[in-house]
Amino acid sequence: MTLPAYDVVIWHRSPSNPPDLYERILEKADMAPYESPEFDGLRDIHWGFSNAEDAIEFAEGLLEFAALEDVMKLTVLGESIGRKVYKDTMVRLQK
């Protein structure tokens, strides 16, 4: 599989509070992720884009979820922008 040029990533606790968080994120996204594995109590959701503008617009459409405690990360990764972080509490957990 070829990785996309730009990647929008959300990590949330699983199980989550609210219990339907994953479904709510997918409904709001209105686009299937290219991967969403679950491991060690977290779900790692990825959507791919070919340009930065679409990836940033998509991520900003999901900002309401970044306010939730069970959402650990919302970032955009990509060629020309590096890493645009909206939320990342994983850094604190890794120390």
Q: Helix, strand or coil for residue 2? A: coil
Using 50, 70 and 90 to split pLDDT, how confident is the model at 95?
very low
What percentage of the chain reaches a pLDDT higher than 70? 94
Other beta carbons less than 10 A from residue 61's beta carbon: 13
Distance separating alpha carbons of residues 55 and 52, to the nearest angstrom: 5
The mean pLDDT of 73-92, rounded to a whole number, is: 90
The pLDDT score that the predictor gives to residue 59 is 98
User: What tokens appear for 56 in the block?
Assistant: 């940033």
Q: Which CATH architecture has domain 6-87?
A: 2-Layer Sandwich (3.30)
| Mean pLDDT, the chain, integer | 93
**What's the whole-model pTM score?**
0.90
Using 50, 70 and 90 to split pLDDT, how confident is the model at 90?
confident
Per-domain residue ranges for the chain?
6-87
